[in-house]
Amino acid sequence: MKTTTPRGRNPRGQGERLRRQIVDATIRMLDELGDDEPLSMRAVAREIGVAATSVYLHFADRDELVYTALKQAHHDLVESVLQVRGSDPVAELRARVRVLGRWSGEHRGLYKVLNESTLNQRADMSFKLVVREQTIELVQRCMDAGLVPRDDAAAVAFDLRSAVHGTVSMRLNEPDLPWPPLEEQLDRFLVKLVGVSPEALAR
């Protein structure tokens, strides 16, 4: 068990470093817990070996800390998604959907807190909208390139995101069902909901 060690005044620049350590520890703990309710600021302080007052200097309360951690985790996810490129808009959309699906499986706890915790009703989680906007943009590019049928890009993107979130949530909450490989299911969503041709996915 980690023990709390007293800390003196932080040298110049170390305050921000400590803040990032607190956020990183919170992200790890939320991923392990899969729920934000059991997490406390004192537990986070113990995790990184500082006094609880050091955490309170940076965050007014537990909700602010959890919110900041979730926002950072989501930002890191978006950054990794933006690194994904494809040979055409369909390939890029497919690759990004797969990144999102894999991340959700690798960070089950964070996914649950990001999307299923009561914090979603208590806090402004609009930072999550960036994924929606990116998906709409990519779907529109697929339509403009003539690679999928022309339709309402926002509605199609919403259907796709709903399907992806639905299967991810069900896989987390009902793991014993006879699930097909995730990437196969995501490809079916692209075919049935976006209108991607099976031949395009086979290339």
Q: What is the CATH number of domain 84-202?
A: 1.10.357
> What is the pTM (predicted TM-score) of this model?
0.85
- What band does 74 get if pLDDT is binned at 50, 70 and 90? very high
CA angle at residue 171 from 124 to 66, to 5 degrees?
30
Average pLDDT over every residue of 69-85: 92
Helix, strand, coil: what percent of the chain each, to 5? Answer: 70, 0, 30
Q: How many CB atoms lie within 10 A of CB 67?
A: 19
In this predicted structure, the answer to whether residue 11 has a pLDDT above a threshold of 80 is no
**Interval 121-148: pLDDT, tens:** 888 999 999 999 999 999 999 999 999 9
Average pLDDT over every residue of 171-191: 96
- Residue with tokens 């956020």, as numbered in its chain: 23
**Interval 15-25: pLDDT, tens:** 899 999 999 99
